[in-house]
Amino acid sequence: MSEIDSSTDRTEREAVLDRLADTIDLTHARIEAIEADSPAKQELQIKWIRALGYLSGQYRKLLNDEDLDEMAAELDLLQAGDGGPQ
């Protein structure tokens, strides 16, 4: 992957992470604001909690992907400096 592609991917990834973080915060605030005093409100709160779980999982996966990309780049540098795998 070229350096330009890598920086573009990083920028797009950071934008998605920022959007996910904002959405997670808003979802959490909405969950806290719901007073589940009826079965319908309890059901709505459960749906919001599931959405929060899903968003958190996607955020974690994207962070993990970023870590893997960084490790691959470091491995490429090590192999280039070492003359490649033996």
**Nearest-angstrom CA–CA distance, 14 and 63:** 9
User: Is 83 part of any domain?
Assistant: no
Total domains in the fold of the chain: 1
User: Is 57 part of any domain?
Assistant: yes
User: Is 82 part of any domain?
Assistant: no
**Nearest-angstrom CA–CA distance, 28 and 45:** 10
**Using one digit for the tens of pLDDT, what is the confidence trace for 68-86?**
888 888 888 888 887 555 5
- The pLDDT value recorded for residue 58 is 95
**Nearest-angstrom CA–CA distance, 80 and 86:** 12
User: Is 53 part of any domain?
Assistant: yes
Report yes or no: 31 and 48 within 8 Å, Cβ to Cβ: yes
Torsion of CA 17, 19, 25, 31, to 10 degrees: -120
User: Is 86 part of any domain?
Assistant: no
User: Is 69 part of any domain?
Assistant: yes
User: Is 85 part of any domain?
Assistant: no
**Using one digit for the tens of pLDDT, what is the confidence trace for 2-51?**
454 566 767 888 999 999 999 999 999 999 998 989 999 999 999 999 99
